[in-house]
């Protein structure tokens, strides 16, 4: 379904992704974990063709996502929904207009049909009767739900979630996690979730991928992650400040780590 092969990405002197390869199975939820700055959000941008890798290939539904042809890329993008970290709702548009936008722009559906579909999408994310609200009138959790309704507006085959629970209280976070699981089960959508939230990752993931210094340091099921003896994974799971991943670096150590990641 998704095949990432030999992906490299560098910003200036810093290598973010270093020969990254993995695959996500159709209809499953794959969760990408890692510390801040490990290139998870960069990877999401590459998966939708909004950023080019320096090297490597991304295949989604057997298409190579990197292309210079905007029309071909847009045809692919219509099959992919994205939920952004900060929701990225259009603040001057109502909830209804936000969700209707991809349908208005990408389909020839009649306005009445679009209105019905907007209601359906809002029902699916548990926000019926909120069409008339502006995004700023909603809580962050509700904004995420509206953004999710917009992401699934075109009934995509795959949804990418960039930090779906960041900035949310535990209850809203749990609700979003359940929503992702439900949408995956009910609609059979393939999902790729980027998160720091280990609790929600464990609940929803079929497969977990842990990134460290631009490479995969663990790939497996939640049970396998709990049982692994890898000290790096253990440190990540337990949130220890002591271990192979250093939480505090001196300037010299930081510069050395940059050089090591460039090897």
For residue 146, state whether it binds another protein (rule: CB under 8 A): no
Binding range to another protein, per CB under 8 A, among 28-36, 72-80, 138-146, 236-244: 72-80
Q: Calculate ∠ Cα 17-164-212, nearest 5°.
A: 25
Q: How far is the CB of 50 from another protein (least distance, A)?
A: 6
> Which residue lies nearer to another protein by CB, 103 or 208?
103
For residue 34, state whether it binds another protein (rule: CB under 8 A): no
- Residue 68 neighbours by CB distance under 10 Å: 7
Q: Which residues pair with 23 in a beta bridge?
A: 3
Binding range to another protein, per CB under 8 A, among 96-104, 164-172, 218-226, 229-237: 96-104
Backbone phi, psi, residue 158, to 5°: -140, 140
Helix (H, G, I), strand (E, B) or coil at 259: helix
Q: Measured between alpha carbons, how far is residue 75 from residues 72, 111, 136 in Å?
A: 5, 22, 31
Q: Measured between alpha carbons, how far is residue 178 from residues 47, 67, 200 in Å?
A: 24, 35, 9
Residue window 190-229: x/- pattern of binding to another protein, with contact defined by CB under 8 A: ----------------------------------------
Q: Ramachandran region of residue 160, left (φ > 0), alpha (ψ -120 to 50) or beta?
A: beta
Return the DSSP state at 137.
G
Binding range to another protein, per CB under 8 A, among 32-40, 81-89, 164-172, 240-248: 81-89
Between helices 140-151 and 95-106, what is the axis angle to 10°?
20
Residues 7-26 that bind another protein (CB under 8 A): none
Q: How far is the CB of 22 from another protein (least distance, A)?
A: 21
Q: Which residues pair with 29 in a beta bridge?
A: 191
Q: Calculate ∠ Cα 97-103-106, nearest 5°.
A: 130
For residue 155, state whether it binds another protein (rule: CB under 8 A): yes
Binding another protein by CB under 8 A: which of 20, 65, 82, 168?
A: 82
Helix (H) or strand (E) holding 75: helix 70-77
Binding another protein by CB under 8 A: which of 2, 7, 48, 176?
A: 48
Binding another protein by CB under 8 A: which of 52, 55, 67, 74?
A: 74
For residue 123, state whether it binds another protein (rule: CB under 8 A): no
* Dist CA 100 CA 150 (whole Å): 7
Binding another protein by CB under 8 A: which of 20, 152, 154, 192?
A: 154
> Which residue lies nearer to another protein by CB, 62 or 108?
108
For residue 50, state whether it binds another protein (rule: CB under 8 A): yes
Provide the binding-site residues for another protein, judged by CB under 8 A.
45, 48, 50, 70, 74-75, 77-78, 80, 82, 84-86, 88-91, 101-109, 150, 154-155
């Amino acid at each position: 379904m998704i095949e990432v092969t030999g992906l490299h990405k560098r910003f200036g002197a810093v290598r973010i992704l270093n020969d990254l390869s993995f695959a996500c199975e159709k209809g499953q939820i794959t969760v990408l974990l890692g510390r801040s700055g490990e290139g998870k959000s960069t990877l999401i941008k590459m998966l939708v063709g909004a950023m080019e890798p320096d090297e490597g290939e991304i295949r989604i539904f057997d298409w190579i996502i990197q292309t210079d042809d905007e029309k071909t890329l847009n045809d692919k993008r219509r099959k992919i929904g994205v939920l952004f970290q900060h929701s990225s709702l259009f603040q001057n548009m109502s909830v209804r207009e936000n969700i209707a936008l991809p349908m208005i722009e990408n389909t020839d559906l009649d306005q009445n049909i679009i209105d019905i579909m907007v209601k359906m999408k809002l029902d699916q994310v548990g926000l019926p009767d909120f069409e008339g609200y502006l995004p700023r009138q909603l809580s962050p959790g509700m904004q995420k739900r509206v953004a999710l309704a917009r992401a699934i507006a075109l009934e995509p085959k795959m949804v990418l979630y960039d930090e779906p629970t960041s900035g949310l209280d535990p209850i809203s976070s749990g609700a979003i996690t359940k929503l992702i699981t439900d949408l995956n089960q009910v609609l059979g959508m393939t999902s790729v979730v980027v998160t720091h939230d280990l609790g929600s990752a464990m609940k929803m993931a079929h497969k977990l991928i842990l990134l460290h210094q631009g490479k995969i340091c663990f790939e497996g099921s939640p049970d396998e992650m709990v049982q692994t003896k890898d000290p790096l994974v253990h440190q990540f799971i337990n949130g220890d400040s002591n271990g192979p991943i250093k939480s505090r670096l001196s300037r010299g150590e930081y510069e050395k780590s940059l050089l090591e990641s460039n090897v």
